Amino acid sequence: MRTFDLAPLYRSTVGFDRLFSLLDQTSGHEGPAAGYPPYNIEKTGENAYRISVAVAGFTENDLSIEVKEQALTIRGGKSAAEGETKSDYLHQGIAARAFERRFQLADYVFVKGAALEHGLLHVDLVREIPEAMKPRQIAIQSGNGPRVIEAEASRKAA
């Protein structure tokens, strides 16, 4: 059983469309190139993350990074330079094929920057929660709130 029909859930829920579409994406088969290029996701701080993608053989000009509607897309493709001759490989173990890798970003997660170092593309992310969304402490008052006894006593005396 590799597929699930989520259609009945769509008609009985409101506001969970994005959750169900994510479930549909993860249950689907992504094809033979699903593992290329390999990547790591690490937590570098309380609200900081880093995605590292192995892009050996690619230069900055061969790579593109785009964020659209909470989806981070990293694309790579080798462009043949003018005057460059194609090599006849006896064995080609370093894949230089075009790729597209997508990451779904959570709410309030933004791309801070990207760097290409030693064949790894590092994309730094930060989660910035707005002040209105942060948890806050609410003071609890007891049922014996402030009482004004002196004012009542002075009215009775008058």
The structural domains of the chain, ordered by start, are 1-30 (no CATH), 36-80+91-131 (2.60.40.790)
Split at pLDDT 50, 70, 90, the class of 86 is: confident
Structure confidence at residue 24 as a pLDDT band (50, 70, 90): low
**47-77 burial string, b = 16+ CB within 10 Å, else e?**
eebbbbbebeebeeebbebeeeeeebebebe
Q: Which residue has the higher pLDDT, 153 or 116?
A: 116
Top pLDDT among 13 and 98 is at: 98
Asked if 55 and 121 touch (Cβ cutoff 8 Å), the reply is yes
pLDDT of 93-148, one tens digit each? Answer: 877 789 999 998 988 899 999 999 999 999 999 999 888 888 888 888 887 766 66
Most confident option among 60-64, 88-92, 126-130, 137-141: 60-64
